[in-house]
Amino acid sequence: MKKAYLPYLLVLAASVLGSSASAQPYPLEADDRRFAELANEGRYAEAYALAESAPERFAHWYAYLLFHTVPPKGTYSVGEATVRAAEHACRYREVNLEAAAYCYRTLALILRWKDQDPRIAQALPGAKLPSLSPSEVDQGLQALAEKGVSLAVYYRNPSKTEVLEGLVRERPYSLGGQLAAGALANHLWERGNRGGEMVRYALLAPGVSSWAGGVLSWAEYFGQGVKQNREAACSRAAFWAPRSASGPALLTLALCYWEGAAGFPKDPIEAYGILWYGKDVSGAPDFRTYLAQLEKVLRPEQQMEGRRRAANRFP
């Protein structure tokens, strides 16, 4: 008689345990802070190791670093990185709300580009991704934004300054808060408002947000709001420029080549190519000003060589 009840008791215990696990979804604030601090110090190997020690708790961070091909684990090509990041985030979307938001975000990108970008189409066969329609993905992200999940709030309000400021103020170490800090720094840079406020935002997320990293590289190059440090500026710009659409990272990298700063080879042709590429990425007038200066000294065939190099260098 007693033995007959045992399976029922086990099922009951499992359901109680199961429901308590889903009632406490990740991430935890302390985990976010720990990971963000490691990444912002450029300690990516340790950050990856931390994420691998508890994949469900750090799934959103791990997927984000993969997407941006941050070494040592992010060794994929662009299309593959997008698909692998989506796979990782989606695998943990039931237990980690930020991972769910990142899953929806990357799925939206894949659905938008899979028929047009051959790099994504090539990476898709064999990928384990949830089968969702664009409207389901959109609704999923919206529902998470309404719950206040930082990444969903960020992706739903990319240009609403007051929403981004709120994220930075209330949850500075969440992934959404970190990206919001970078977006605010970049908005200020693009608008030519390049003072202390811009640098303060950039300093919050220079190793997480490519925009924050790009702005900080520019500030370090010119000693604007931080101590001038061209070595740090050039290596930071070289890291973020090919991984993002950061105007200040591209501008700084171009200057590193133009002036041969921080051990970079003095190469005005390379600088010209980066500026030429950057003028379409950023609306800042700096690009056209510097391009005009270089066009006075470079012959047409040198300019063409610069454009060729840039077209091959940036994805």
Partner 1 sequence: MRRTASRRLLLLLLAVLLAPFWVPLARRFYQESPLSEGRLRSALTACAQKPTSEAAFLCYREAVREAARAKGARWAAGACARVGDPLCFEAFAQEAPNDTWCAYAREHGWFPYKACLVATCRK
Q: How far apart are CA 268 and CA 274, in angstroms?
A: 10
Amino acid identity of residue 220, one-letter, is: E
Under rule CB under 8 A, residue 303 binds partner 1: yes
Q: How many residues bind partner 1 (CB under 8 A)?
A: 19
Q: Report the site for partner 1 in 204-243 (rule: CB under 8 A).
A: none
Closer by beta carbon to partner 1, 62 or else 287: 287
Alpha helix stretches (DSSP H) within the chain: 2-23, 29-40, 44-53, 55-67, 78-91, 97-113, 118-123, 134-147, 150-156, 161-170, 175-190, 196-204, 210-222, 230-240, 247-259, 268-281, 286-297, 300-313
Residue given tokens 């007051």 in the structure block: 162
Rama region for 192: left / alpha / beta (φ>0; ψ in -120 to 50; rest): left
**Interface segment toward partner 1; rule CB under 8 A; list 115-123, 148-156, 195-203, 242-250:** 115-123
Give least dist CB 295 to partner 1, A.
5
Under rule CB under 8 A, residue 312 binds partner 1: yes
Give least dist CB 275 to partner 1, A.
10
Under rule CB under 8 A, residue 12 binds partner 1: no
Closer by beta carbon to partner 1, 184 or else 241: 241
Give least dist CB 45 to partner 1, A.
30
Under rule CB under 8 A, residue 43 binds partner 1: no
Give least dist CB 116 to partner 1, A.
6
Q: Report the site for partner 1 in 93-112 (rule: CB under 8 A).
A: none
Token pair for 265: 């080879």
- Taking residues 270 to 289 in sequence order and writing x for each that binds partner 1 by CB under 8 A, - otherwise, the string is ------x---x---------
Contacts of 78 (CB under 8 A, 6+ apart): 69, 119, 315
**Interface segment toward partner 1; rule CB under 8 A; list 66-74, 81-89, 212-220, 300-308:** 300-308
Under rule CB under 8 A, residue 45 binds partner 1: no
Under rule CB under 8 A, residue 158 binds partner 1: no
Under rule CB under 8 A, residue 118 binds partner 1: yes
Token pair for 248: 């200040």
Q: How far apart are CA 286 and CA 296, in angstroms?
A: 16
CA-CA distances (angstroms) from residue 181 to 47, 138, 168, 186, 210? 20, 24, 6, 9, 11
CA-CA distances (angstroms) from residue 288 to 10, 231, 274, 283, 293? 70, 25, 12, 10, 9
Instruction: Write out the residues near partner 1 by the rule CB under 8 A.
Output: 116-119, 276, 280, 291-292, 295, 300-301, 303-304, 307-308, 310-312, 315
